Amino acid sequence: MSNLLHLDSSARRQSFSRELSARYADAWTGTRTYRDLAADPVPVIGEAWTEICDALLTAGITDPAHYADVVETPAQRKAWAVVEPLLAELLEADVVLIGAPMYNFSIPAALKTWIDQVTFPRMSLRGKAFVIAGARGGTYAPGTPRAPFDHHERYLRDFFAGHYDVDDVRFVHAELTNALVDPHLAARDGERAASREAALAAL
């Protein structure tokens, strides 16, 4: 049976990215693992984590099943205790679903911290699929004036392809969400609603 790892990273309990990711997750027919990275933040990496990375490079270890072989010191064991369950969830997943709003042209810090914790040298996740349910206050679609500032989809796409060697990455975005609260975007609320409906339908 296929396994879904579902991550949410929005600081808002009621958010567009959570609504979108929930739509996909609710239709999933296999097993599911859920983690709310905003409500239960993953700690940032520390020096012991970097020591584990260095040891893996020195030993030439690329198989996650042997990562723990290089963990030696008390500090490294403490760091590994954080990594191990997160990494196990990722490795067991066939599909990784991420609710990821755009914050300041990029991804939430909570999501970046999770990525840092579960990413090691020359680590391949080829064969897995990633689905990103995104939300943006404005519009960053190709051809729009703000498209060059999209370091949200671009970062995730480049990272998953460049580091994890994953070529199955799908993005669905709700655009112009700030039209609900920003008077300067009020005239574009119809576009916001249409974008939301299209995203929900796609998921």
Q: 24: annotated binding-site residue?
A: no
Q: 155: annotated binding-site residue?
A: no
Q: 106: annotated binding-site residue?
A: no
Q: Which of 166, 168, 188, 162 is nearest to 177 (CA)?
A: 188
Q: 104: annotated binding-site residue?
A: yes
Q: 171: annotated binding-site residue?
A: no
Q: 178: annotated binding-site residue?
A: no
Round to whole Å and give the CA distance between 110 and 72: 28
Q: 9: annotated binding-site residue?
A: no
Residue 9: Cβ within 10 Å count: 27
Round to whole Å and give the CA distance between 85 and 75: 17
Q: 140: annotated binding-site residue?
A: no
Q: Which residues are annotated as a binding site for FMN?
A: 10, 15-17, 102-105
Q: Which residues are annotated as a binding site?
A: 10, 15-17, 102-105
